[in-house]
Structure 1
Amino acid sequence: MLTENAENPATQTPPREKPTRKRFAILAMIFVTVVINYMDRANLSIAATALSGELELNSEQMGAIFAAFGITYSISQIPGGVIVDLMRSRILYPIILIGWSLATLLQGFANSVLLIMGCRWAIGIFEAPSYPINNKVATNWFPENERASAIGIYTSGQFLGIAFLMPVLTLIQAQYGWRGLFIISGLVGIVWGVIWYFFYRDPDEHKGVNDAELKIISDGGGYNKDEVKPATDKTKGKGFNWGDLKQTLIHRKLWGIYIGQFCLGGVTIFFMTWFPKYLVDYRGLDFIKSGYLASLPFIAAFIGILLSGFSSDFLVKSGLSKEVARKSPIILGMLLSTSIIGANYTESTFWIMAFMSLAFFGIGLASIAWVFVSLLAPQGKVGLVGGTFNFIGGLSAFVIPYAIGVLAKGGQFEPALVFVASLGLIGTCSYLFLVGKVERIVPKG
C-alpha cells in the first residue's frame, strides 16, 4: 500500500533530455577549414623571397602578386554572399574549398608571373564566399550568447594555424622548394573538401543532434529553418534583388563595420604577405629563423581573439549592453594595432618582434567583428551583408600589399609601417562614431 508521501510513477515528470553538444564538433570543422584557408593565403609570403629571386622581381612587382588575390577576392564578395544565401553550406563549401586548393596546387607548376597571378586570382574567387559561409554556419548552430566565442574560436584558426604552420611551411619549402610548398598545400585542401561534404549537416539534419540541443540553439536566436533552406515554401522565389543590395549600403552603422573591417584587414594582410619578407630582406634575418620568429605575432593574435570572444560573451551574460560588450574588444584592439610603428625606432630583434606581436594581439582582439554581421544584418540577409562586409574588408587585400610595395620601393620600410599603423586609428574612429546602437536593422517600407 502506498503512503501519502510515496511517489506515484504515473505523475512523475520524465527526466529532461540532456542536450547533445554537436555544435562544437561543427565549430571544430570550421576551425580546420579556416586554417587551410589562411594557409593557402600565407604560403605565398613564405615563398616570396625564393620566388622573387628566381623570377627577378622588384618590390612593386611582388606587391602586385600579393595584391592579385585581393582583387578577385573583394570583387567576388557580394556575389559570393548572394550564393551563400541561396545554397546549402554542405554543398557550397566543398565546391569552393576544392576550387581554391586546385588553384593553390597549380601555382607549383607556374613558370611565369602571369600564371602565378592567374592562380592567385582564382584563389580569390573561390575563397570569397568562405567567411560568409563560416558566419552563416555559426549563426545557425550557435545561440547568440555563445556566438562571439564561437566566432572567436574559428577565426583564431587563421592565427593559430599560421603560427604553427609558419615554421612547418618554411621547412617544407627548404626541403621541396617553393613549388613543392604550393603542391602540398593544395593537396591538403582537396582532401578536406571531401571530408566536409561527407560529415557536415545542418542542425535539423544532423543525426547526432537531439531536440534539447536544437532547442538551445533556436531559443537563443540561432537556427532558423527558413534561412538555412532557401528552397522551402516560405523562401522559394525570394532570390537576390537590387533592393536587398541597397539595404546593405544605406545604413550608417553598416558602413561603420565595413570601414572597420577594411582597416582590420589591412593590418592583417601585412602579416599575411609582407611580414616574412620584411624580416628577411629588410631586417636581415636568416630564412629558417624568420619562419620561427614570424609565428610569434600569430600566437599573440590567437591569444587576443580567444580573449576577445570569451570576454565579450561573458560581458553579455553579465548584463552589460551590447555596445560595451561587443565594441570594447574591437576598439581596444584597433588602438593596440598602432603599436606596430614602434618597430621603426629600434634595431633590436627582440623589440621588433615585441611591437609586432602587440600589434597583432590587438588585431586578434578586434577580430570578432563578424559578430556584428549577425547582430545588425536585416533578417534573411546575413549572407549578403556578410558578403558586402567582406567585400570592403577584402579590398584591403588588394590595396594594402601594393601600397606597401610602393612605399618600400626605395629600400626603406618605415613609411609602410606608418601607413599600416594609421589604419588602426581609422578603424577605432569607425566603431566609435559610426556603428551606434547595436541592434538588428529593420528595413523601412
Structure 2
Amino acid sequence: MQTAALNINKPTRTRFQILGLIFLSVVINYMDRTNISVAAAALTDDLQLTSIQMGLIFSAFGWTYSVCQIPGGIVVDFVKARILYPVILVLWSAATLIQGLVSSFGALVGLRMAIGVFEAPSYPCNNKIVTNWFPENERASAIAIYTSGQFIGLAFLMPVLVVIQDAFGWRGLFIVSGLVGFVWAAIWYVFYRDPEDHKGANQAELDHIAQDEVKIVEQVKEQKTEQKEVSEKNESKLTKENLKIVFSNQKLWGIYIGQFCLGGTLIFFLTWFPTYLVEYRGLDFIKSGFLASIPFIAAFCGVLISGFFSDFLVRKGVSKEVSRKAPMIIGMMLSMFIIGANYTDDTTLIITFLSIAFFGNGLSSIAWIFVSLLAPKQLIGLVGGCMNAIGSLAGVIVPVVIGFLVTDGDFRPALFFIASLAGIGFCSYLFLVGKIERVTLPSDKAAVQGG
C-alpha cells in the first residue's frame, strides 16, 4: 500500500515521450530540407541544370523560410500543436513528394519556397510545446536535445538517403521522404496531447511542470514595473535613437556579421556538401553518404561541448570574455580549416578538414547568448530579430554565390569563400564585439549623468 502511494505521488515522465516526438519531428524537418543536397548531382545531370540554377534551388527555401518566421510564430500562438503540427507536416511533405514528379527549374524553385513557408512555424511550435511540457529548470536541456536532431539525425540519415536514392533514383528519394512525413503526421495526431489532456501524465507530473508558475507571475509583474519605468524614459522602442543604436553600434554589428558568417558554413554542409564529394572529389555515391555523416557528428559534438563547457566556466566564475567569447572565436578559427581540403587528395584528410570545420561551426553555436549580454535590456527582442534576419540571409546568398564560383567544376574557390566567411566572423567577434559589456541607450546615459 505504501509503495502504491509513493508511485501515485511520483511524477510520470510523459514529458520525455513528448520530447521524443519533437526530436523525431526535427529529424524529419531537416531531412526534407536537405534531401535536395543528396539528390543534387543526379538531378543536375538528369534535368541539365547549371550550377547557378542549382544554387538558386538551394537558396529558394531560405527566401520564404526567413520571411515567414514572424507570421509562423503568430500562427503558433493561435492554433493548438496537436492540429498545427500534422497540418504543416502534411503540407511540407506534399511539396517534398511533388518534387519527385516535376521536371523544370521553375517548379523546383517554387516547391522549395513552399517547403520554406510550411516549415516556418515548426521551430516556434517546438519551443511552445517545450514551454508547456517542461518546468523552467528543465527547458534548456530539452531544447538542446531536440535541436541536436538537426545534426545527429542527419548524421545517421545521410547514408540512408543515399541508399534510397541509389535504389529508387532522385525522384524516388523525394517521394519516399514525402510519404514518411505523411505517416509521421498521423502518428503525431494520435499520440500528442497538451499536458492537461494527456492521460499518461499524472497529477504529480502536472504539478512538477507547473512548479514555477508562481515565479513566472511574479516575474511578469516585475517586468511590467520595469517596462513602465522604461516607458517613462522612452515612449517607444522604435524611437529614432533606439533604431540608430541597433543599426549603428559596433558591438551589435559584430554579432550580426558573426551570425551571417556562422550560417555560411552551415549552409554549405546542408546544400553543396554531397555534390562536392561526388562531383568534385569523385567519391562513390554510396561511400559519400557514409563519409558525409562524419562532419555532422563532429558538429553535434561541437554543439554539446560549447553549451555545457561554457556554462561550466561561468559557474566557476571565469570571465565572460573567456567563458562566452572563447568558444565563438575558437569555433570560427576552426571553421577556417575547411580550406585545408583544397591542398590534399587524400579522402581521409579531406573528411578530417571538413569535420574540424563543422565541429568549429557547432562550437560557435552559442552565438545567441551575446544578444542577452550586449543588447540594451529593453531592446533584446529587436536586436535578436535583427541578428536572426541578417543571419538568415546566409541561406539565401551563400548557395547562389557557391553556384557561381563552381561554374567551371572547380570547388576550390567555394572553399576559399567559406573559409573567408569564417575568418570574417573570427575578426568580427575579436575586434568589433570587443569587450563583453551591455550597450547603453542615450536615455540611459542621460539618466546616469543626471543622477
TM over 0.5: yes
CA contact (8 A) 2:61 2:113 kept: yes
CA contact (8 A) 2:245 2:441 kept: no
CA contact (8 A) 1:136 1:383 kept: no
Range that drifts further, 186-195 or 339-348: 186-195
Partner of 1:238: none
Partner of 2:423: 425
- The offset of 1:149, in angstroms, is 3.6
Partner of 2:291: 293
Alpha-carbon separation, structure 2, partners of 1:438 and 1:182: 48
Does 1:344 pair with 2:342? yes
Q: What TM-score do the two structures reach when normalised by structure 1?
A: 0.79
- The offset of 1:258, in angstroms, is 4.0
- The offset of 1:116, in angstroms, is 1.2
Alpha-carbon separation, structure 1, partners of 2:194 and 2:375: 21
Q: How does 1:9-408 map to 2 (within 5 A)?
A: 18-85=10-77, 87-138=79-130, 141=133, 146-202=138-194, 208=201, 209-215=205-211, 251=246, 256-320=254-318, 324-370=322-368, 389-408=387-406
- The offset of 1:49, in angstroms, is 1.0
- The offset of 1:356, in angstroms, is 0.2
Higher relative contact order (CA 8 A, sep 6+): 1
Alpha-carbon separation, structure 2, partners of 1:223 and 1:191: 43
- The offset of 1:296, in angstroms, is 1.0
Q: Which has the higher helix share?
A: 2
Q: Structure 1 residues 399 and 193 mapped into 2: Cα distance closer, same or farther (>3 Å)?
A: same
Matched residue SS, 1:409: coil
Alpha-carbon separation, structure 2, partners of 1:245 and 1:161: 44
Alpha-carbon separation, structure 2, partners of 1:412 and 1:419: 13
CA contact (8 A) 1:248 1:385 kept: no
- The offset of 1:104, in angstroms, is 0.6
Alpha-carbon separation, structure 1, partners of 2:137 and 2:288: 40
**Percent identical:** 61
CA contact (8 A) 2:96 2:175 kept: yes
- The offset of 1:249, in angstroms, is 9.2
CA contact (8 A) 1:95 1:193 kept: yes
- The offset of 1:245, in angstroms, is 12
- The offset of 1:21, in angstroms, is 4.3
RMSD, matched Cα: 3.9
Alpha-carbon separation, structure 1, partners of 2:282 and 2:424: 31
Q: Structure 1 residues 143 and 364 mapped into 2: Cα distance closer, same or farther (>3 Å)?
A: farther
Alpha-carbon separation, structure 1, partners of 2:53 and 2:407: 10
Equivalent residues, number: 416
Q: What TM-score do the two structures reach when normalised by structure 2?
A: 0.78
Q: Structure 1 residues 306 and 293 mapped into 2: Cα distance closer, same or farther (>3 Å)?
A: same
Q: Structure 1 residues 269 and 101 mapped into 2: Cα distance closer, same or farther (>3 Å)?
A: same
Partner of 2:229: none
Alpha-carbon separation, structure 1, partners of 2:285 and 2:8: 58
Gaps of 5+ in 1: 1-13, 227-241
Gaps of 5+ in 2: 1-5, 222-235, 445-451
Alpha-carbon separation, structure 2, partners of 1:152 and 1:93: 20
